[in-house]
Amino acid sequence: MATLMPLQAPDIRSAKRLVVKIGSALLVDGEGLRRQWLSALALDVAEARTRGTQVILVSSGSIALGRRVLHLPPGPLALEQSQAAAAVGQIRLARAYEEVLAPHGITTAQVLVTLEDTEDRRRYLNSRATMETLLGLGTVPIVNENDTVATDEIRFGDNDRLAAQIAVTVGADQLVLLSDVDGFYSANPKEDPTAQRFDLVETITPALEAMAGDPVSGLSKGGMKTKIMAAKTAVAGGCAMAITEGSAMRPLKALEQGAARTWFVAQGDPQAARKRWINAMKPRGTIRVDAGAVQALQAGKSLLPAGVVAVEGNFGRGDPVEIAGPMGEVLGRGLTRYTAVEAVQIAGHRSAEIVAILGYSGRAALIHRDDMVI
C-alpha cells in the first residue's frame, strides 16, 4: 500500500537550474550600489555552480542606479525619465555583476527582455533557445526587463513576474525571490502583529491570494501581490518558488541553512508542465514523417527536415503541429521552428542544405525535442 510522504520543502542544494531574483532595494541603498553584498552573493552563486547548479539571475536596479547618476529627484518618475534612468543604470548594473563574478571564473551574459518576448510563441522559442545556449556555454545570464523600450502597456513592470516567466521559459526547477520580507504572511506583518508566516504552501488558494494585499511603493515595484502571481506561474510550470529576506550577506547560503522563508511547492516537474502546455494547444497543421524519423523521435531525438515526407496546414513559426507517421497515425505534437511554407521547401533535405534552399540559415531541427510530446 502506498504511504503518503509528508510534504518536503525543496533544498536549493539539489536545484538543477536555479533562478534568483534580486530586488532593487537589496542592491541599491542611499549610498548607491551595495558592492559588498553583491560580492557575497557572487560567492553563493559560485558555490551553487560548483555543486552543478545552473544559475540565472534576474536583477532589478537599473532605474534605481540610473536615477542617482542622473540626479533625478526622489519620488515617482515620469515614464521617459525612468526609461532614461534604466538606460544609464543598466550598463552599471551589468558591469557590477561582471566584476563580482569574474574572480570566480564565471562569465556573465546580459539578457534584456520585454513582455512580448514571452507572450509571442516564436519570440518565446527564440529567447528559450538563446538562454539554453548561454547556460550550455557555462555563463550566468543576468536578466532584466528592457525598461528603456518597454512602455507601460507592454511591460511586466515588476521583476517578480518576469523572474517567474523566465524560470518557466528555461524549465528551471527552483526560483528564489530575494526580498525585503522573509516570506509570505497571512497578513501584512508590518501592520498586523498576529500575522503568521507560511513555511510551505502546497496549493495557492483564492483565500491565500486574498492575503497578499496590494503592491507596496518604494524602490521595488513588486509587493506580495506580484509575488503570489509569480508563484502561480512558477508552480504551474513545475518550478518551486521561495520568498526569503535577502538583505543580509550570503542570502542563498542562509536559505540553505534553514533561514526563514516560504516555499511554494511545484506542480510536477518542468518537463511534465511543458508537455501539458504543448498538449493543451490546438494544432495548426500536420507534419508527416518517414519510418526512420519515427524511430528517431521515439528514441527522444529532435525532428530533422530530412525525415519529413509531407506537410499539411498553414502554420507559422512557433505554432503547434501534429506529428504523424507514414500511415498518418498520430505520434505526438510539437512546436515548429519553421513556417508551413518553409517546411514544404526543406522537407526531405539535410539540415546543412537549409541555407541554400531558404537563403538564410535557420535551426537544424524542424521541431526540437524539448518542444515535443511523443
- Residue set of the binding site for substrate: 60, 147, 159
3-state helix, strand, coil in the chain (%, to 5): 40, 20, 40
Nearer to ligand GLU, 15 or 163 (CB): 163
Q: Which stretch binds ligand GLU (CB under 6 A): 56-64, 134-142, 176-184, 291-299?
A: 56-64
C-alpha cell at 24: 532593487
Does the protein bind ligand GLU through residue 61 (CB under 6 A)? yes
Least distance to ligand GLU from the beta carbon of 67, Å? 9
Tally Cβ neighbours within 10 Å of residue 338: 27
Task: State which of positions 222-251 bind ligand GLU (CB under 6 A).
Answer: 222
Nearer to ligand GLU, 220 or 336 (CB): 220
Does the protein bind ligand GLU through residue 221 (CB under 6 A)? yes
> What does the radius of gyration of the chain's CA atoms come to, in whole angstroms?
22
Phi-psi group of 147: left, alpha or beta (phi > 0 → left; psi -120 to 50 → alpha; rest → beta) = alpha
Q: What is the DSSP pairing of strand 320-324 with strand 330-335?
A: antiparallel
- Binding letters toward ligand GLU, positions 119-148, x by CB under 6 A: -------------------------xx-x-
Nearer to ligand GLU, 117 or 147 (CB): 147
Task: State which of positions 16-35 bind ligand GLU (CB under 6 A).
Answer: 23-24
* Residue 288: half-sphere exposure toward Cβ, Cα within 13 Å: 9
Task: State which of positions 145-204 bind ligand GLU (CB under 6 A).
Answer: 145, 147, 158-159
- Cite the annotated binding site by residue number: 21, 60, 147, 159, 179-180
Least distance to ligand GLU from the beta carbon of 94, Å? 11
Tally Cβ neighbours within 10 Å of residue 143: 23
Q: Which stretch binds ligand GLU (CB under 6 A): 118-126, 216-224, 331-339, 356-364?
A: 216-224
Beta bridge partners of 103: none
CA distances 135 to 110, 124, 170, 200, 366, Å, are: 12, 16, 10, 29, 22
Kindly state the helix (H) or strand (E) to which residue 341 belongs, with its residue range.
helix 340-346
Site residues, ligand GLU (CB under 6 A): 23-24, 60-64, 86, 144-145, 147, 158-159, 220-222
